[in-house]
Homo-oligomer: A and B are copies of this chain.
Amino acid sequence: MGRRPREPEAGTRPTIRDVARSAGVSIATVSRVLGGQPSATATRTRVQRAVRDLGYVANSHARALAGISTRNVAIVVNSVVSPFYGHIAQAVESQAAEEGRLCLISTTGGDLHRELAAVKLMLQEHTDAVILVGNVVDNDEYRRRMAEYAHALAAAASRLVLCGRPPLGPRVPAIAVEYDNAGGARAATAHLLSAGHRRILYLGHKPGFTTSEGRLAGYRAGLAAHGVEPDESLEVTGVNLERAEGYRLMRERLRAGAPDFTAVFAANDQLAAGARQALLGHGLRVPEDVSLVGYDDLPPAADIGLTTVHLPHDELGRTAVRLALGRAPDRAEDHVVLGTHVVVRQSVRPLTR
């Protein structure tokens, strides 16, 4: 069961002073050995033995206070269980770990005030960067207060990174790593249009949220580019982005009368899965009777053969960390937009009449 290291005093952990005493050197020497600076082989081994004997581990708060970077990064995210955010969060954590950083995490449940509180908490922790993941309602309060935090972080040689969310404005010292919400939606719409579909139901818009607005805009742009008149009655607003909501919205639509659309573009894969279930339940086949496209390309999309827009979850998270910890703070790229593309599976069929 491993020899239990004797502590210099019960209830306390050994400090650098204990190590120094035990090795018969000064604390400066211990610090040097631990920092990998040149020292005589004999002293080095003595120190290392003392460290092992005492079970010494450095106090990272003391180091942080003495001027060393904390080597921590903070991630603030809606939720970890959501497959969408979870993937990005995992990518951030992995990249941070690869760069020798520890992650502080806080979840917000999508609430702006909890998000602001979380950023403030991270400010206290002096992390090397604060990475905000995902969706927000882009209103004035958000912009104003986040801009303040961005300045505070910049003043402390840290950085605010917006991941999957648009920049705050030209004068705000923040890095934004987005993906092309609108472009993906435009491409998906074009995909349906070139299969002959003209009446495309846009399902699950959530007004005010940045990603949702971007996707809807892309849908409209896609229609416009093909000279198709937009029809507001085809834009269905939902209350959340979950599977059950997709089911509910589609079922209501189908109950209201014969389908007045030949294809459905759902705001994300989960809504698409719910909509699909409602369609099947209503005796409509996918894609024979109705074509269906999703957004996000999460793993379950492949299982149900859903044509969807692929999102670079992993790259998003990793790029955020790389930029955050990038060398040149001044010359750093502060806005990158990653590409999205349509992944063709089996849920779209050319319209034949």
Residues of chain A having any CB pair with chain B under 8 Å = 1-2, 4-5, 7, 10-13, 55, 57-62, 64-65, 70, 72, 79-81, 83, 86-87, 89-90, 93-94, 97, 102-107, 120-121, 123-126, 143-145, 147-148, 151-152, 155-157, 169, 171-172, 243, 300, 303
Report chain B residues within 8 Å CB of A144.
1-2
- Smallest distance from the beta carbon of A141 to chain B beta carbons, Å? 10
What distance in Å separates the Cβ of A287 from its nearest Cβ neighbour in chain B? Answer: 20
Residue of B nearest to A92 (CB): B80
Q: Which residues of B contact A124 (CB under 8 A)?
A: 57-60
Nearest CB of chain B from residue A224's CB, rounded to whole Å: 33
Give the CA-CA distance A121 to B103 in the complex, in Å: 11
Q: Which residues of B contact A59 (CB under 8 A)?
A: 65, 124, 126
Number of copies: 2
Q: What residues of chain B lie closer than 8 Å to A64, measured between beta carbons?
A: 61
Is the beta-carbon distance between A11 and B155 smaller than 8 angstroms?
yes
Q: How far is the CB of A319 from chain B (nearest CB, A)?
A: 18
A35: shortest Cβ distance to chain B, in Å? 14
Give the docked Cα–Cα distance between A11 and B151 (Å).
11
Choose from B2, B5, B107 the contact partner of A93 (Cβ within 8 Å): B107
A9, closest chain B residue (CB): B155
Residues in B with CB closer than 8 Å to A90 are 79-81, 107
Asked, given contacts A1-B144, A103-B105, A106-B102, whether A13 binds B83 with beta carbons under 8 Å apart, the answer is: no
Closest B residue to A1 using CB positions:
B147
Known: A13-B155, A103-B105, A121-B102. Is A126-B61 also a contact (CB below 8 A)? yes
> A60 contacts which chain B residues (CB < 8 A)?
61, 124-126
Which 10 residue pairs are nearest across A and B when measured between Cβ atoms? A61-B64, A61-B61, A60-B124, A13-B156, A80-B90, A81-B90, A105-B105, A2-B144, A2-B148, A61-B65
Q: Is the CB of B13 within 8 A of A152?
A: yes
By the criterion CB–CB under 8 Å, are B102 and A103 in contact? no
Residues of the B chain whose Cβ atoms lie less than 8 Å from the Cβ of A70: 61
Given contacts A81-B90, A102-B106, A124-B59, contact A147 B2 (CB under 8 A): yes
Q: Is the CB of B86 within 8 A of A107?
A: no
Q: Could you give 15 example pairs across A and B, Cβ below 8 Å? A: A1-B143, A1-B169, A2-B144, A2-B147, A4-B151, A57-B120, A57-B124, A61-B61, A61-B62, A61-B126, A62-B65, A80-B86, A81-B86, A93-B106, A93-B107
Task: Please give, as numbers and ranges, the residues of chain B lying within 8 Å of A7 by CB-CB distance.
Answer: 155
Tell which of A57, A106, A144 has the most Cβ of chain B within 10 Å. Answer: A57
